Amino acid sequence: MEDFSDEECNTGLYLGLGIKKEKKKPKLMNKPCFDLAFELCPKSEAIKVHNSHNNNNNNNSERFSLEYYPNATTCSTDSDNNNNNTDRRKKLRLTKEQSAMLENTFKLHNTLNPVQKKTLADQLKLKTRQIEVWFQNRRARTKLKQTEIDYELLKKQCQNLSDENKRLKKELQELKVRQSPLCPQRLSKPVCSSCDQKLLKRNEDNNNN
DNA sequence: AGGGTCAAGAGGAACC
DNA sequence: GGTTCCTCTTGACCCT
């Protein structure tokens, strides 16, 4: 990988320039779109490939692939984006090995000091900034996941409390009815099932002692 | 086509 | 003032 300045790194300009990437799937586009892209990006090393194998669909228009263009600093491939696209981002995909290594490191410590960052960056052939960003995003993902878990837990607790509240309200209502002078089974003392349970437990404890 | 994922950008807060 | 982190957003890419 070429060495890029931090500025290049921070602005994302290094992307698509020097990083060895897995072979990208060719981006398919119609001939006019391809020609426009090629016109906007004459210095690119885009390889124009006629997709003869792609003729099985009903679309009769000619289709081409725009292969990865390693030496292109600015290149437009979208016909709807007609500015000069100098700031077009190319998405970096970490390899399985890089992701695994980052994950393992994250398990050990979810923040890194500058030395650790540099070491890891060297090991993975990435910029320290990329390591930093990965850890930031990873922390954010962890937090989001935890928030979701907490939310589900609170929802469950809330539901339980709501059920309990309903039950107690019902019990109170029953007690009120039973205390009414008009009730044939009128109670001399107010009793509820909670009190009953407490009383029962106390009696059991007394018996055990 | 639209939604999901994730690397990276941007801006602000906290810390020294 | 510089650095690091958090949070929200953007944009590329992938999948259905």
Which residues lie near nucleic chain B, judged by CB under 7 A? A 9-12, 15, 89, 91-94, 99, 129-130, 133-134, 136-138, 141
Tell me which residue has tokens 């390693």: A70
- Cα separations in angstroms, A82 against A16, A48, A78, A205: 20, 20, 8, 83
The whole-number average pLDDT for the span A178-182 is 81
**A136 CB-to-strand C distance under 7 Å:** yes
The partner residues of A63 in beta bridges, in order of sequence, read: A30
The whole-number average pLDDT for the span A4-25 is 32
Q: What is the pLDDT of residues A69-81, one digit of tens each?
A: 222 222 333 333 3
Q: Within 7 A of a protein CB, which nucleotides of strand C?
A: 3-8, 11-14
With bands split at pLDDT 50, 70 and 90, how would you rate the model's confidence at A187?
low
Which nucleotide in the DNA or RNA is closest to residue A90, CA to C1'?
C12
**A7 CB-to-strand C distance under 7 Å:** no
Note the pLDDT of residue A23. 26
CA torsion A68→A70→A72→A75, rounded to 10°?
A: 20
**Secondary structure of residue A65 in the 3-state scheme:** strand
Q: What is the pLDDT of residues A97-146, one digit of tens each?
A: 999 999 999 999 999 999 999 999 999 999 999 999 999 999 999 999 99
Q: Which two tokens stand for residue A173?
A: 């209502």
The partner residues of A50 in beta bridges, in order of sequence, read: A64
What's the CA gap between A68 and A77, in Å, rounded?
A: 11
